[in-house]
Amino acid sequence: MKKLILILLLIIILAPIALAADFNVDIEPVKSQISPTESALYNVSITNEGTTKSTYKIGIDATWDILSNPLSAYFSGIVLEPGEKTTTLLKLSPPSKSTSGAKRLNVEIESNDGEKISRSINVYIKAIGYGPQGYVPFVMSSLIVEPVSIDPRNKLTAKVKLKNGNVLNLTDVTLELTTRNNLFYKKRLVNLDPLEERTETFIITLNPLTEPSADSLIATVSYLDNYFQPAREIIEIVPFTNLVENKSVENKFLKIESTIELTNKGNQRISELYKVKTNLFRSLFITSNPDAKSLNQNDERYIVWEISLDPAQKITIKSTENYQPLLVFVASALIVLILYYLLRSKVVINKSAEVLEMEEGGISKIKIMLSVRNRSKRKIEHLKIIEKVPNISAYVKEDYVGTLKPSKILKHDAKGTLLKWDIDELEGFEERMITYKIKSRLTILGSMTLTPSVVKFRNPSGKITITHSNKHKLNMG
């Protein structure tokens, strides 16, 4: 049962698609006002819009005689390949007992697949030999459209000029205004005095999203069952683009959230780049959905999105300019810097040296300089500087003017010599220089690396702190 219901629903949904004709028909009058003994002429254009070859036959729903040029078009049908178009001249002759006046006929074109298209045409049969008491209704019409190239956002003006062709009073004459593509429909009833001429003006508002196309404006006039020759004017709906931007911005702490809604209010597809001006710094902190790209143009920097919108389609762009991570980074850097200054050693020691003597192409005597500096503003007391002289060298005892002498000299055969200096105090930002010399027991070839010196002191909180100097490398030459 469920399968049967599903099949019926599919049939209902697909029926309109199946019934849609795959060909198109246009009929244009060549001669539509005739006497009872004449024939009306119409050009019938048929276009095969399907994918297979088809045959089309022409007929009418009245007892009129019908012929075509060529004759085979009516008797045998018209054969068209896919995409092919042809125009046939249709000749319609009224029955012998036809009355005068306007006549509406339905021309039917049927394909070999059974698809049908019907088009209405109006034929006017002139009266012959009537006296004043025998007048038949006859109204002539003409049409003026301003402008003929129409921007659908603007209104257009259509003026229909009507002329009563005889001395009859015509009440409730129907005036209909539409287009071939059925863009709109207007209907109006008017009264015409004998031989009166009058103009009816229509102000027409189109759908702004009407697609660009060529079309025909058609004014049809009828009275009772009489249909008169319609007036036509070729018009064109011109293309235009109109990308409408609606932007909202929400400011938060070090954060800007923007929502941009873009709507295509034009009548054709828009494909373009939507640009927002920025700079290199700001662009580092902008994220968006959908993702944006960067563009440099005329020395200006932009973030851009590729926009493709059909008429009435819209897209929403969300972008965020967020400086909060920058604040976190700067705050973290400041905290690290403050901690560094708070926790770093209050005393620094720097070691340097120079070669005083060379023997047999190698280093024999060296002068070593130690710079001890208090880099805080508070006084530091009871500093001890410890220096290790390698066992391949010997400490040179000399008196140095302006420098401290070691307070202790400890010698060890395997580990070398240990030198100690005591500094009672260092005032804030004070620096002391300690200089001494060593002489190598063996000639040193190449380079020599001096081990770091050590300074011990008690910081203001009472904690003993140990700080090492740099290593120093001596090279020959």
Q: What is the pLDDT of residue 60?
A: 86
Spatial distance between the Cα atoms of 89 and 71, rounded to a whole number of angstroms: 9
pLDDT > 80? residue 273: yes
CB 473 within 8 A of CB 447: yes
- The torsion angles phi and psi of 17, rounded to 5 degrees, stand at -65, -40
Does the pLDDT value for residue 142 go beyond 90? yes
What is the per-residue pLDDT for 13? 46
Please tell me whether the peptide bond between 406 and the residue prior to it is cis, using omega within 30 degrees of 0.
Answer: no
pTM higher than 0.75, yes or no? Answer: no
> Rg of the chain's alpha carbons, rounded to an integer?
52
Q: Give, in order, the Cα–Cα distances in Å from 427 to each of 34, 36, 201, 379.
A: 127, 132, 105, 4
- Which residues have C-beta within 8 Å of that of residue 269, sequence separation ≥ 6? 308, 309, 310, 311
How does pLDDT run across 153-182, given as a tens digit for each residue? 999 999 999 999 888 899 999 999 999 888
Domain residue extents for the chain? 20-125, 137-237, 243-324, 345-475
CATH of 243-324 given 3.30.450, 2.60.40, 3.20.20, 3.40.50: 2.60.40
Q: What CA–CA distance (Å, rounded) separates 277 from 300?
A: 8
3-state helix, strand, coil in the chain (%, to 5): 10, 60, 30
Residue 83 has pLDDT above 50, yes or no: yes
**Model confidence pLDDT, tens digit, residues 24-82:** 999 999 988 887 767 889 999 999 998 999 999 998 877 887 878 886 787 778 999 99
Confidence of residue 401 (pLDDT cuts 50, 70, 90): low
Which token pair is 323? 């400086």
CA distance 426 to 371: 12
223 or 444, which is more confident: 223
- Residue 361 confidence (pLDDT): 73
What is the pLDDT, as a whole number, of residue 155? Answer: 94
User: Is residue 107 within a helix (H) or strand (E), and if so which, with residue range?
Assistant: strand 101-111
Q: How confident is the model at residue 100 (pLDDT cuts 50, 70, 90)?
A: confident
In a 10 Å sphere around its CB, with 0-12 CB exposed, 13-18 middle and 19+ buried, how is residue 335 labelled? exposed
Of the candidate CATH numbers 3.40.50.720, 3.30.2350.10, 1.25.60.10, 2.60.40.1530, the domain formed by 345-475 belongs to 2.60.40.1530
Out of 154-168, 251-265, 272-286, 385-399, pick the least confident: 385-399
Domain 137-237 fold is: Immunoglobulin-like (2.60.40)
Quickly name the fold that domain 20-125 has: Immunoglobulin-like (2.60.40)
pLDDT for 14: 45
Domains 243-324 and 345-475 share a fold: yes
Tokens 């920097």 belong to 301
